[in-house]
Amino acid sequence: MALHPSSLPAVLSPVLTPVQSDGEILLELFAKQCGWLQKSNVGLAVFGTNSEGNSFSASQKINALEYLVNHGLAANQMMPGTGACAVADAVTMTRATLELGCSGALMLPPFYYKDPAEDGLFAYYAQIIEKIGSDQLKIYVYNIPPVVKFGIPVTLLERLVAAYPNTVVGMKDSSGDWEYTKACLDALSPKGFRVYAGSESFLLRTLRAGGAGCISATANVNPAAIAHLATHWQDDNADELQAGLDVVRTTFAKYPMIPAMKAACARYSGNNQWSQLCPPLLTLPQETQEKLFTDLDTIQFAMPGL
């Protein structure tokens, strides 16, 4: 069976969110970044992990989404993060994305309580789906055990797809565990389920195994090259293209990822507004920034058009 039809591209970015010192979103700069990504054929998973998504209120996020759509950003290329610990907050955020025409909602599990029962996780997603009650709703389950400290069982995904086959249509897997990703692909891609790897490090393997693509932090800084591999993954030089992506990913991964990418955006755009983060995250110390920039110069990294 083919993957569920979707206007979403193979590569999406959890878009970095520029903020003022008081934590308010710099909407004009945010829209500019989103436009640059879309021109690079990368979709917008705004308010994901690397967007500092859980540092903003639902009203802040909805206001920002409305700004993006009203300023010409393509809603059908968006998969906003809408998960929250409270079902009501997840419903509010998810309903707003649906009304704005977004093509999917990337939904964390309720992440405060650890080791939840599978039945409890099923009830969480089921309540949200039933409360929204729309045939247009498309949910992508977000598996990120390094952050939430528990994983989404494959059996839970199978139950959700069986109960809501036209609503629970995919996932982002940020486990970093290829065997788990492969298990999801084997069990669910024959049913049209769209599996996105959580890093471009797994992009080629995911596409070769029947997956949809990747939703990756470093798509914020290296969008065109990642999108290029997603388009040319069947070419003879695909492994070479993957190796090139891995060099950039490995360089950024030596540093705290969100501060490092914001430092890169500030440097290559010439706009120091990018340097601000939401507490408890902190800007990279000057010495660390200089080391990052030396490493980026060594690999001849650039962000053309930013």
Residue 57 neighbours by CB under 8 Å, 6+ apart? none
Count of beta carbons in the 10 Å neighbourhood of residue 126: 16
Question: CA-based angle 189:191:196, to the nearest 5?
Answer: 35
- Asked if 43 and 77 touch (Cβ cutoff 8 Å), the reply is yes
For residues 10 and 230, what is the distance between their CA atoms, to the nearest angstrom? 6
Residue 107 neighbours by CB under 8 Å, 6+ apart? 81, 82, 83, 90, 94, 125, 128, 139, 140, 141, 142
Cα dihedral value 19, 172, 36, 264, nearest 10: 60
140 catalytic per annotation: no
Helix (H) or strand (E) holding 254, with range, is none
Count of beta carbons in the 10 Å neighbourhood of residue 238: 16
CA 296, chain centre distance (Å): 23
Residue 215 is labelled as binding a ligand: yes
DSSP string, 33-76: HHHHHHHTT-EE-TTSGGGTGGGS-HHHHHHHHHHHHHTT--GG
113 catalytic per annotation: no
Q: Which of 172, 196, 255, 262 is catalytic?
A: 172
Q: Which of 142, 196, 255, 268 is catalytic?
A: 142
- Asked if 53 and 14 touch (Cβ cutoff 8 Å), the reply is yes
CA 253, chain centre distance (Å): 16
Query: Would you name the residues annotated as active-site residues?
Result: 142, 172
Binding-site sequence positions for pyruvate: 215
Binding-site sequence positions: 215
